[in-house]
Amino acid sequence: MQQKAQMPEDGKVDINTAGKDELMTLSGIGEAKADAIIRYRDEHGKFQKIEDLMEVEGIKDGVFQKVKDQIKI
């Protein structure tokens, strides 16, 4: 039986290493935003701080406020 991706012990998603499915577990992050996060990472390198997530197209303060307690770098 195949297991789903396990959540890290602290329950936070690492936005520098998470795959699309893991990113989509975050509040307000659907397929398009997950793709945008991965594309941003590919083009700009790793996020230096969680606030850098707001540099991603389609992710503004409102979405960031929903996910800031669910993410880490």
Spatial distance between the Cα atoms of 28 and 40, rounded to a whole number of angstroms: 17
Residue 7, CB-side half-sphere exposure with 13 Å CA sphere: 11
pTM for this structure?
Answer: 0.85
Residue with tokens 């992710």: 59
pLDDT, residue 27, reads 94
Beta strand segments in 1-73, E: 13-14, 71-72
Spatial distance between the Cα atoms of 46 and 48, rounded to a whole number of angstroms: 6
pLDDT, residue 1, reads 45
High-pLDDT (> 70) share of the chain, %: 88
pLDDT, residue 10, reads 81
| Closest alpha carbon to 33 in 54, 16, 49 | 54
List, for the chain, all residue ranges whose pLDDT scores fall below the cut of 50: 1-4
